[in-house]
Structure 1
Amino acid sequence: MSRGMAVAYAIGLPLALLVLIFLPAGTLAWRPGWIFIAVLIVAFGASALVLARVNPIIYRARSRFQPGTKAWDKALLAVIFPAMAAILPVAALDAGRFHWLPVPPWAVVSGYIGLVAGIAVTAWAQAVNPYFEPGVRIQSERHQRVIDGGPYRFVRHPGYVAAVVMFLGMALALGSAWALLPAALASALLVLRTAWEDRLLRAELPGYDDYARRVRWRLIPGLW
């Protein structure tokens, strides 16, 4: 990633968070929004520091979509990303402005637990997997191989498990039941992406079929 792009991310992402949360809430005085942003900054900041130490190449791998990314994956992401982003303004409209469907405090706490746990598992997966790119493709130019350590010992797609937990956690942490709707849509599409990516890896990545026989579960041990 170039220095200019890094600066753009550092400035643009926090500004986007502020707009997505406080504009729909109708006020900068919405305290749950500030708590949410603070937790995100601390959790992702700690994750970034760990990854910079144990697997710095992951920043290059995840800096952009690479040539060869599957067209079906781009189509899925064109819906997943807006659905994920919609969690924030829907939650702000619900919990911050109109109070349509309040959730109990225990659900908010559960949301933060899920959010932080999702960030931690994502960091764990990225720490052991240098091929953790934003798009689905076979990375033949990087001599991609099967990764079976860390969280990949338990499920074949731990990053997607973490993402689903994070989507649902974001909605609940902001105190919104209505925001579970875009979170559910993003999660359902991510499950579809898991199935299609798994099929691709079985067909084209050497050794993956044997790994899939050892680690039977894609996302949820004992279920799928």
Structure 2
Amino acid sequence: MQRSIILIIMASLSDRTTPEVVSYPMKNARMRMLILCLAGTGLIALVLFLAAGTVRYWQAWVYLAVNGIAAVPYVRYLLDNPRLLEARMKAGPIAEQRSVQKGITLLGFISIVVAFIVPGLDDRFGWSNVPPWLVVTGDLLIVAGMLMVYRVVKENPFGAATVGVVEDQRVVSTGPYGVVRNPMYASALVYLIGMPLALGSYWTLIPSALTVLGLVWRLLDEENFLAQNLPGYTEYCTRVRWHLVPLIF
């Protein structure tokens, strides 16, 4: 499940690209997804605890548990939808076809790695003093962000993890897409606000903010691409004004 979170945060998620046909049996896709989820969870835990220099980092344990549980609906939905699962698993700089998106995705990956190193160092050296109630607030934002992701993928069957347009693609304008143009990125924004607090680190707000800037760069480039290549998208943008946050941006 943690792997899916990394993909979200690093902005390798896209809201309106169509998944390709599954290239291997559903059973194998499910197994691959589960293995990657477990490996991702272990890797994030390793980074957090190595940076902290101890496993006595209670905020990290709570974060891992809350994040894993909150991701269950999203992951189960993917496991039950093999075409979407295949599309979501093709992510990252190598999977992107356009150089600008390769660069954005790479920078996003670097910023999220830093965002997992900093809180561990913060715990080790005592840079922040985040009260428990604010840590819990961060965990609640983690849950909210993951549930938003689940809602978005249920609404949009074309939600691949790379930017592009295929022959049978159509604009999705219902549900959360009727509120903002990029609800997947809005989900990531909520998550990115909650993660530093959940891990008890004010300093992690810095790499988290840099990741948000990467999200904005990515979505603006994606919107420009879709306006040029996806029929009906320009008209959709005239009806849905907000990119990411209603009444703000």
* TM-score for the superposition, normalised by structure 1: 0.90
Aligned to 1:36: 63
Q: Displacement, 1:68?
A: 6.5
Aligned to 1:117: 144
Distance 1:26 1:6 in 2: 30
**1:84 maps to 2:109:** no
Q: Displacement, 1:107?
A: 2.4
Distance 2:233 2:136 in 1: 38
Distance 1:46 1:62 in 2: 15
Match of 2:222 among 197, 208, 215: 197
Q: Displacement, 1:52?
A: 4.0
Q: Aligned ranges for residues 42-61 of structure 1 at < 5 Å?
A: 42-53=69-80, 55-61=81-87
Q: Displacement, 1:34?
A: 1.0
Distance 1:68 1:85 in 2: 19
**1:159 maps to 2:187:** no
Aligned to 1:207: 232
**1:127 maps to 2:154:** yes
> Which protein has greater RCO, CA pairs closer than 8 Å, 6+ apart?
2
Q: Percent identity?
A: 34
RMSD over aligned Cα atoms: 1.9
Aligned to 1:62: 88
**1:146 maps to 2:171:** yes
Aligned to 1:103: 130
SS in 2 for 1:62: helix
**Equivalent residue pairs, number:** 220
SS in 2 for 1:167: helix
Q: Name segments (4+ residues, structure 1) moved above 3 Å.
A: 1-8, 50-53, 65-68
Q: Displacement, 1:105?
A: 2.8
Task: State the AA in 2 paired with 1:77.
Answer: T
* TM-score for the superposition, normalised by structure 2: 0.82
Match of 2:210 among 181, 185, 194: 185
Distance 1:13 1:122 in 2: 18
Distance 2:67 2:200 in 1: 15
Q: Displacement, 1:67?
A: 6.6
Aligned to 2:198: 173
Q: Aligned ranges for residues 9-20 of structure 1 at < 5 Å?
A: 9-20=36-47
Could you tell me which runs of 5 or more consecutive residues in structure 2 were left unpaired when the two chains were aligned: 1-23
Native 8 Å contact 2:73 2:150 kept in 1: no
Task: State the AA in 2 paired with 1:98.
Answer: F
Task: State the AA in 2 paired with 1:135.
Answer: T
Distance 1:112 1:77 in 2: 25
Q: Displacement, 1:6?
A: 3.2
